Structure 1
Amino acid sequence: MTIDQPMSGGCQCGAVRFTAGKLGRPSICHCRMCQKAFGGFFGPLVTADPAHLEWTRGAPTLFRSSAKIWRGFCAKCGTPLTYQMREGVELAIGAFDHPERLEPQIQVNHKKRLPWIDHLFDQPVLDNPEVEAAHAAIESWQHPDHNTDKWPEDAT
């Protein structure tokens, strides 16, 4: 799978934004380092061609998580952005403006997955209109899922 059309994305606060073209294989990684880096059950990543990756606002801060890996994140809000190695770069799928276009095609480090992950979506769904209304009423200060000339929008 290769996605040739450029896709944009960035961190939660908007301090770091990117445009990436020539995206490769979307995946999820179950290794413990990805779990910790994303603060989640796995790390959702997509390979990117560094020649077609442009940081359009700011740039990620790098943390060396192992002898071979650097992880990029926003220094202001902490959003995970990259998994970098000598061989290339992968971008966090959730950081894209349209993550729904990057359905994972493979699982990496499957033997390291959390023991209950295969049954995660068997759990009951909370369908509570009061909870949904409370969430809908929250005013988000998160950067919108599209490029902006400046952010926050009231900045001069």
Structure 2
Amino acid sequence: MSGTVVVGVDGSPTARKAAETARDLATALGATLHVVSAFDSDRSDVFGTGSNKWLVSDADKAEQVARTVADTLGGNINITYAAAGGRPADAIIREANQKEARLIVVGNRRMRGIGRVLGSVANSVAHNAPCDVYIANTYDAD
């Protein structure tokens, strides 16, 4: 197949399980894996004292989450990562469009109970994706 498989992560155990599934699918398909972490707003905080100050933004935090997951997945495939602004489903879909992804992988964490009524990232992605969507079973990851 080749192409790109996109997976959204947020640092949770369920997102990690979805990323592992995405890695396995990308490996089997000979595709690149693109790990995405979304951030809603780009707030910034300054840490430190005196001349030793660091600016940390939501975008930086999201990129760190994506990089950490990408770095720990291993495997014999090309893995890229990015932080994307916006609500998680919108950010994942936008990245999939930009990468011309062949597949998006999301976890099913909030597809039961109240999450099912209010909506979930998996539900939004499945209904609006520009490509195929694989919904990984992540219920036992917590």
TM-score by length of 1: 0.25
The structure with the largest helix share of the pair is 2
Answer with 1 or 2: which has the greater Rg. Answer: 1
